[in-house]
Structure 1
């Protein structure tokens, strides 16, 4: 069956999109089956009721999300995008390589409780490398600080590390428009893997956005320049005054001391 929608119904559905549709033809729709087959898959609704005459309706198609090319990433730097430091050698056809900072964070709890802060320890990645062990979650961060306005930033681990059995942010990370900060990376491996500081660990790429949106304003991870352990406990009723507990030579210290 063909669907039809009145102008008033359409305005109720899209009150803020007056230019979203237009009438393609003023010829009354006589052969509904033919017209329906021509429009199928293109429109959310097939016909627009104008008085007693049904006319074919054509939406201006919603733009599919697009990926910024490497050249476009460079063009947007200083305007909507910030990557600091920026190295032209790390630009790709449609992404930018981000490098690994020289610190890691590991939790020190036998059972990690999502509803409370958890103790953690910091580890340094020396220039000669650090061997990750299976069965352990490591949190690292990018050396680069980024800002993104008007686009959706996405982080994806490099497939070269997948082939070593090292998984960085499995499934990728969806960023928010307006996010500013370094990126915390979750890493685990299926066999011992040696990593090095400053190696290109992941890629950032940018998607276009359609519709009005407010910039990311959450203070949970915004403006971070450090490895950020999970703050999910705040959503589960944890005490907002509690910091993650850094474990340093057997002493429990509140907050970050480095």
Structure 2
């Protein structure tokens, strides 16, 4: 079951959903619109390796905007810190952004229950597109879980800014 915009607002007031900063004007009928943060990064290696930490550089998104190129994955973050111990957040592009050919979250749109922080977005442009810091880029929905709740305690907890993949730690844990 998905929460309506009014129910999202009610759950923010009780603290069951955390969105900071929160602006009730960002509520939609069954979602909350979020902003692109001020930082963006990308991998600098031609080949990415799941078993090793990959070189990654991070930059400010200029106020005059930045053009994203096709055939590259960019990692950016939400301006807002978002999470819940009671509901499962799912993120996706706003339809206005998707209509420009910008994939805001290519995969892994499920945010684990109990995860809190700025969410890392996987940006991919079908053709060149200019983005800006603070752009209303995506939306988050909140879903009611069924069954025993086990809160997220993973490697991305409390993220701030774009976070590159930490999949190499899975190899180290073997």
TM over 0.5: yes
| Equivalent position to 1:186, from 122, 132, 152 | 122
Whether 1:76 aligns to 2:5 is no
* Contact kept in structure 1, 2:86 and 2:113, CA below 8 Å: yes
Corresponding residue for 2:77? 141
Cα RMSD, aligned residues only: 1.5
Give 5+ residue unaligned stretches, structure 2. Answer: none
Corresponding residue for 2:30? 94
* Contact kept in structure 2, 1:83 and 1:144, CA below 8 Å: yes
TM (norm. structure 1) is 0.64
| Equivalent position to 1:208, from 144, 161, 164 | 144
Query: Secondary structure of 2:168's match?
Result: helix
> 1:159-238, aligned counterparts within 5 Å?
159-171=95-107, 173-218=109-154, 220-237=155-172
TM-aligned CA deviation for residue 238 of structure 1: 7.3
TM (norm. structure 2) is 0.94
Please give the alpha-carbon distance, in whole angstroms, between the structure 2 residues aligned to 1:172 and 1:237.
Answer: 22
TM-aligned CA deviation for residue 73 of structure 1: 0.5
Higher relative contact order (CA 8 A, sep 6+): 2
Give 5+ residue unaligned stretches, structure 1. Answer: 1-65, 240-258
Structure whose alpha-carbon radius of gyration is higher: 1
* Contact kept in structure 2, 1:116 and 1:238, CA below 8 Å: no
Whether 1:67 aligns to 2:2 is yes
Q: How many residues align?
A: 173
Q: Runs of 4 or more off by more than 2 Å in structure 1?
A: 236-239
